[in-house]
Amino acid sequence: MNNLSIKNKLYIGFGSIVAIILLLLITAYNNFASLTDANRWDRHTMEVLLQIDRINSVSLQIQVDTRGYILTGSEALIGTERENAEQLKQHVAKAVQLTADNPQQNERLKRAQALLTTWADVNIRRQIEKRRALGDAKGAAEILGQSSELKEAGAIVASARELLDQATEEERRLLAERSAKAVDLHSSQNALLLGGGAVVFVVSLLIAYALGRVIMGPLANLTAALARLGSGDQVARIVVTSGDELGKVSEDFNKMAQQLQDATQREQAQTNELRAKVDSLLGVVARAAGGDMTGKISVGGEDAIGQLGEGLQRMFDNLRQLLTNVQKAGIQVTTSATEIAASAKQQEATGVEQAQTSVEVLSTTKEISSNTSQLLKTMEDATAVADYTTSATSEAQGNLRRMDQTMQNMVNATDSINAKLAALSEKASNINSVLTTITKVADQTNILSLNAAIEAEKAGEAGRGFSVVATEIRRLADQTSVSTWDIEQMLKEMQSAVSASVMGMDKFSEEIRRSVGEVRQVTDQLSGVMDQVQKLAPQFDAVLQGMQAQAVGAQQITETMMQLNDATQQTVESLKATSEAVHQLQYAAGDLQSSVSTFAVNA
Amino acid sequence: MKVLVFHIGADRYGLPLRQVRRVLPLLELKGIPLAPDSVAGLLNLHGDPMPVIDLSRISGGPPSRKHFDTRIVVADYTSPEGAVHALGLMAERVQGVQDVAPQDLAPSGVQAAPFLGRVAGDAKGMVQLVEVNQLLPAELRARLFPAEAAAG
């Protein structure tokens, strides 16, 4: 609702009022149509009633005419009888036609139509015919008055009238019903008009109020915000609640107010910045005036203040550079002077040290001379020992060679023992096969003896001697077995002994071979030693000669050192003079530094 | 009375020399499939087949070990019907012939295998006699000598 434009809001408001009025009018029109319909039905009923009345009056007219004719016999009275009958039929037909919409009434009227038609066309005509036949005879009226025709006609017409009365009654009831309905319609029409009018009034008031609020509310906000802005309140803003034209106006207003505020704040910031720049320039200049050149100008830019700042900065930089250079020069002069003084002192000390060193060197040289003589003697001893070592080593070499030879012989002997042991082992195997044969023979002999004993037993007394022999053979066989077993055992022991010997011999040969290798190694080493020892003797001679030359050199060094000592003494003197001059230079440099240091140039 | 001494397990037994035909070394025997365990096999004795009974096996022990003094003893087996057959007996440690005095023999007093007879003691222990004719149970006899069984 809030986002609709004002035009749409107005359309919606007035449109809804018009719609309600239209609705009301349509309802009223419907009610009027119903009323008209009811009136039409009333008229229809009236017509039906009129026709029934006419039927009644015409039938009465016919009855009256017929009675008159019967009483008087005057033909004039029945002159209109045909015409009336036609009229009666017409009216009845009309009534039947009118009640076509109501089946019950229609049925009644049709029955009445049938009765009345019969009555008019048959009964009345019979009465007239009878009266005409009687003519002017006396008592004709009484005869007819008592006749069955008259009674029959009366009954028919009475029943027809009854039916007509019922129809009339029904139509009247319908009329009353419709009248009541029409009264109801009237009253509802009145209520509708009154109530509808009131509703339209109230709804219109509500819509007018709502429209007023929707349009006037934002306008009032806008006016108030404008008034606040005019009185200088820059943060005045409007709360935008709707999306219509007024909402847009409010948003634009807010943007305008924001821009105004931003512009004011920018101006304020610039003013503050300018003031700060001038303040900082003033501060730096004031410190420089007091001798503190360390101030840094942070103001820059293209404007006048900026250029002023940069000019000042350049001036300060130049001044600072100058002062720094002066200070550096002062420090450098001081440092150099100090260094010179220090080196002069050091040289002096060095000179003194040199003198002392010369004395020490002198004494050392003398010691070397005496030591060299002792060394000479020792070297001679060493040479003698080396000669002895050489001869002993060659002797040892000869011994080792002999030992090597012996070892070789032992290896050969071991190999031949091994061969013999192998032959022994083979022989033992041969013995073993022989033993196997002997065992078999012994076994067969045993069996033979058993069988012999059996045969002897079977022979009885005759085989007694044979039995003894068999027993003897068996004993021999047993002994052979036992001996064979013993030999076998011995042979096995021998074979294992031979195997052990072979293994021992192998190990022994291996050891001898290793020993031979070691002996050869020792021999080689001894040869190397001998070579070295033989080389020693000439070297000892060279050492001796060098020592003698050393003794002579030591004497020369002593003399040179004496001369050097004198020169050193002179150097020390001149250094003392230099030290004095440097002290004076130091004082001058100190003065320069203190005068420059009143300026502060480093941050 | 002279007996041939052999061993079943650790014990010594004697076979009367009258019933022994001869002693043979341990020869290769022909196996008899589906024969009872106690039958060691068949031996060709000069062209005639002879069944060999393992004495160790028929006494309920393990099969005889094949030592150098394990022999096959050919004995005379007299069946209850009176027919005499050659029967091989495989015996362990056949030591030789020993003389046993009849007065030394005494009943063992223990009713065990039917073929074990009287016992005699000497310096090395006891020797029990083996009755060859009682050696084969009826069922085994019927298997070994079927013709005779049919005849009887």
Cβ-contact A92, A109 below 8 angstroms = yes
Question: How do strand B84-99 and strand B48-54 relate by DSSP bridges?
Answer: parallel
pLDDT of residue B149: 52
Which residues in B lie closer than 8 A to residue A452 (C-beta atoms)? none
Give the DSSP H/E element, type plus range, for residue B72. Answer: strand B71-78
Cβ-contact B121, B133 below 8 angstroms = no
- Per DSSP, what are the bridge partners of residue B96? B5
Measure the CA–CA gap between A564 and A576, rounded to whole angstroms.
Answer: 19
pLDDT of residue A288: 80
CATH number of the domain within which B51 lies:
2.40.50.180
**A450, B25: Cβ pair inside 8 Å?**
no
Report how far apart the first and last C-alpha atoms of chain A are (Å, whole number). 71
Instruction: Tell me which residue of B138, B20, B126 sits closest to B72, measured CA to CA.
Output: B20
User: Degrees (nearest 5) of the Cα angle A514, A518, A524?
Assistant: 145
> A235-289: per-residue pLDDT in tens?
878 887 777 788 888 888 889 889 988 998 999 998 998 888 888 888 888 888 8
Please enumerate in sequence order all residues whose Cβ is within 8 A of that of A52, keeping only pairs 6 or more positions apart, or say none. Answer: A95, A164, A167, A168, A171
Number of folded domains in chain B? 1
Nearest chain B residue to A473 by CA: give it. Answer: B96
Nearest chain B residue to A477 by CA: give it. Answer: B96
Measure the CA–CA gap between B50 and B133, rounded to whole angstroms.
Answer: 16
Residue B72 contacts A where some CB pair is shorter than 8 Å: no
Cβ-contact A334, A307 below 8 angstroms = no
Taking only the tens of pLDDT, chain B with its 152 residues reads: 888 999 988 889 999 888 898 899 888 889 888 888 889 899 988 888 899 999 898 888 898 888 888 899 999 888 888 888 889 999 999 888 888 888 888 887 787 788 888 888 888 888 998 888 888 888 888 888 876 655 54
Please state, for a pLDDT cut of 70, what percent of chain A lies above it: 99
Q: Which residues form the domain of B73?
A: 2-146
In a domain, B151, yes or no: no
Measure the CA–CA gap between A310 and A318, rounded to whole angstroms.
Answer: 12
> A479-536: per-residue pLDDT in tens?
888 898 898 899 889 888 888 888 888 888 888 888 888 888 888 888 888 788 778 7
**A471, B97: Cβ pair inside 8 Å?**
yes
pLDDT of residue A2: 63
Which residues in B lie closer than 8 A to residue A453 (C-beta atoms)? 2, 17, 96-97
In a domain, B152, yes or no: no
pLDDT of residue B90: 92
In a domain, B11, yes or no: yes
Instruction: Tell me which residue of A364, A367, A373, A366 sits closest to A547, measured CA to CA.
Output: A373
Cβ-contact A281, A308 below 8 angstroms = yes
Question: How do strand B20-24 and strand B48-54 relate by DSSP bridges?
Answer: unpaired
- Per DSSP, what are the bridge partners of residue B4? B15, B97
Cβ-contact B26, B115 below 8 angstroms = no
pLDDT of residue A577: 75
Q: Which fold has domain A306-444+491-596?
A: Helix Hairpins (1.10.287)
Which residues in A lie closer than 8 A to residue B2 (C-beta atoms)? 453, 457
CA A540 to chain centroid, in Å, comes to: 91
Measure the CA–CA gap between A319 and A325, rounded to whole angstroms.
Answer: 10
Measure the CA–CA gap between A112 and A104, rounded to whole angstroms.
Answer: 13
Measure the CA–CA gap between A39 and A44, rounded to whole angstroms.
Answer: 9
Over the Cα atoms of chain B, what is R_g? 15
Per the model's pLDDT, the better-predicted residue between A349 and B89 turns out to be B89
CA B141 to chain centroid, in Å, comes to: 14
**A450, B97: Cβ pair inside 8 Å?**
yes
Measure the CA–CA gap between A330 and A92, rounded to whole angstroms.
Answer: 160
**B17, A450: Cβ pair inside 8 Å?**
no
**B2, A444: Cβ pair inside 8 Å?**
no
Over the Cα atoms of chain A, what is R_g? 88
Nearest by CB to residue A454, choosing from B20, B68, B71, is: B20
Measure the CA–CA gap between A204 and A198, rounded to whole angstroms.
Answer: 10
pLDDT of residue A131: 82
| Token pair for A398 | 């000869």
Give the DSSP H/E element, type plus range, for residue A219. Answer: helix A148-230
Question: How do strand B20-24 and strand B2-8 relate by DSSP bridges?
Answer: unpaired
| Token pair for B27 | 């020869």
ipTM: 0.82
**B96, A450: Cβ pair inside 8 Å?**
yes
Q: For the residues A100-121, what does the mean pLDDT come to?
A: 86
Cβ-contact A238, A225 below 8 angstroms = yes
Measure the CA–CA gap between A313 and A324, rounded to whole angstroms.
Answer: 16
Min Cα–Cα distance to chain B from A442, Å: 11
Instruction: Tell me which residue of A295, A250, A234, A282 sits closest to A602, measured CA to CA.
Output: A295
Residue extents of the structural domains in chain A: 6-225, 234-290, 306-444+491-596
